[in-house]
């Protein structure tokens, strides 16, 4: 097994509670029934992290944390004091890089927005707001509990809160959404000038309320028009697309997501969190944590762990890298998978012939054409069991 270069290290923290479950959501989230066991959960998160540090000590080797992402659920249901306590304790366990990015997902409701200043004082540098639409009618259809006025107010609060950056999450292809409605959502988002915009298509996921009672969504032609014209609006407004559904003003890409898509390492704590760790001896491990808060709060943290086999590494590497539109250094494939380029020469040659990627002596890059056929491109690296 070839030795690996250890990539940057991030940390994902999952807080599973929401006020109510949205009908499209397939994330590991749980509607509130009574009070959140805030203090108890933080103690378990830290015990979970300590257990990971012991398991992965050969991989950690004093690597500082490059980024932290606190996702959910709705992490902004936790108080600023609790977030401060959590971050301070994490820093005592693992050193932080000097310019660490620390993101917190938040609902743009009144209560959460009022806490933004407190989160900045707690060490949060970036907030990601799940706005999804600037139409009250569409927000109701999506099961969101905020309205348009609250969303716009939350963005204005984010601008003056001292955050280094913030993100607006917006969806398109919503139930009964017309092209003009989708573009109007986007225009209203652009007008607020967030540094980062995640703009992604609603898809019906299994085991969601929308899967059992599917709404009428725009057809493929309408979806293409929405994407094409929306992409033009965003580009004209100075946003650069750097990932399939992520746009940012220059210098404001999400560093945590970049590390994830570049096949970096990330520790993962909290209900249902997924992690990936590399070892210099050539091993790569993926693992996940217990999904349900009941089991997790009993101290049952680790759910499963598996070695990433050599044959699966090309698919896993490119599944991540080709979502990004940037140039891929061939040296990173060798360094982070431990494999020679010769193992994928056949697939690469095919992808070049199809005009899915451009190859130079030292790099690969997905083409505009390749972006449209991403699934077919990635399937080429799948190994039949």
pLDDT tens digits along 124-159:
999 999 999 999 999 998 888 899 999 999 999 999
Q: How confident is the model at residue 61 (pLDDT cuts 50, 70, 90)?
A: confident
Q: Could you tell me how far CA 305 lies from the centroid of its own chain?
A: 21
Q: Quick check: 23 pLDDT over 70?
A: no
Span 102-128, average pLDDT: 92
Q: Quick check: 1 pLDDT over 70?
A: no
Beta bridge partners, 289, equal: 302
Under 8 Å between Cβ of 317 and 260: no
User: What is the per-residue pLDDT for 383?
Assistant: 82
| Annotated domain spans of the chain | 9-259, 325-384
CA 241 to each of CA 41, 216, 226, 247: distance values in angstroms, whole numbers, following the listed order: 37, 28, 15, 4
Beta bridge partners, 152, equal: none
Q: How confident is the model at residue 385 (pLDDT cuts 50, 70, 90)?
A: low
Cα 6-8-9 angle, rounded to 5 deg: 100
Instruction: Read off the pLDDT of residues 243-269 as tens digits, 9 standing for 90 and up.
Output: 989 999 999 999 999 999 999 999 999
247-263 in b/e form (b: 16+ CB < 10 A) is bbbeebbbbbbbbbbbb
The pTM for the full model equals 0.95
CATH fold group of domain 9-259: TIM Barrel (3.20.20)
Counting every residue, how long is the chain? Answer: 385
> What span, in angstroms and rounded, lies between the C-alpha atoms of 231 and 123?
33
Beta bridge partners, 201, equal: 172
How would you class 34 by CB atoms within 10 Å of its CB: exposed for 0-12, middle for 13-18, buried for 19 or more? exposed
User: What is the per-residue pLDDT for 209?
Assistant: 73
């Amino acid at each position: 097994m070839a030795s690996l270069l250890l990539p940057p290290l991030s940390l994902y923290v999952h807080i599973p509670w929401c006020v109510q479950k949205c009908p499209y959501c397939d994330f590991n989230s749980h509607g509130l029934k009574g009070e959140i066991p805030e203090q108890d959960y933080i103690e378990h998160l830290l015990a979970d992290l300590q257990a990971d540090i012991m398991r992965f000590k050969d991989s950690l080797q004093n690597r500082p944390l490059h980024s932290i992402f606190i996702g959910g659920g709705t992490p902004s249901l936790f108080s600023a004091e609790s977030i401060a306590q959590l971050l301070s304790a994490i820093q005592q366990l693992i050193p932080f890089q000097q310019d660490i990015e620390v993101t917190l997902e938040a609902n743009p409701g009144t209560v959460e927005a009022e806490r933004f200043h407190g989160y900045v004082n707690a060490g949060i540098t970036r907030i990601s707001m799940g706005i999804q639409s600037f139409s009250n009618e569409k927000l109701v259809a999506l099961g969101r509990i905020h309205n348009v006025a609250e969303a716009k107010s939350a963005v204005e609060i984010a601008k003056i809160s001292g955050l280094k950056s913030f993100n607006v999450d917006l969806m398109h292809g919503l139930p009964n959404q017309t092209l003009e409605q989708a573009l109007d959502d986007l225009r209203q988002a652009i007008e607020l000038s967030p540094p980062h915009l995640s703009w992604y298509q609603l898809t019906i996921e299994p085991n969601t309320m929308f899967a059992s009672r599917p709404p009428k969504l725009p057809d493929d032609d309408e979806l293409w028009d929405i994407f094409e014209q929306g992409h033009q609006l965003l580009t004209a407004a100075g946003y650069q697309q750097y990932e399939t559904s992520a746009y940012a003003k220059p210098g404001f890409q999400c560093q945590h997501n970049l590390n994830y898509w570049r096949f970096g390492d990330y520790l993962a704590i909290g209900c249902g969190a997924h992690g990936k760790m590399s070892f210099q001896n050539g091993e790569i491990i993926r693992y996940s944590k217990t999904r349900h808060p009941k089991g997790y709060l009993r101290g049952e943290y680790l759910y499963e762990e598996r070695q990433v086999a050599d044959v699966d590494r090309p698919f896993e590497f490119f599944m991540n890298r080709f979502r990004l539109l940037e140039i891929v250094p061939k040296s990173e494939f060798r360094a982070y998978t431990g494999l020679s380029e010769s193992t994928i020469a056949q697939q690469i040659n095919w992808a070049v012939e199809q005009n899915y990627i451009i190859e130079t002596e030292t790099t690969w890059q997905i083409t505009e054409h390749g972006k449209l056929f991403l699934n077919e491109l990635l399937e080429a690296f799948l190994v039949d069991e």
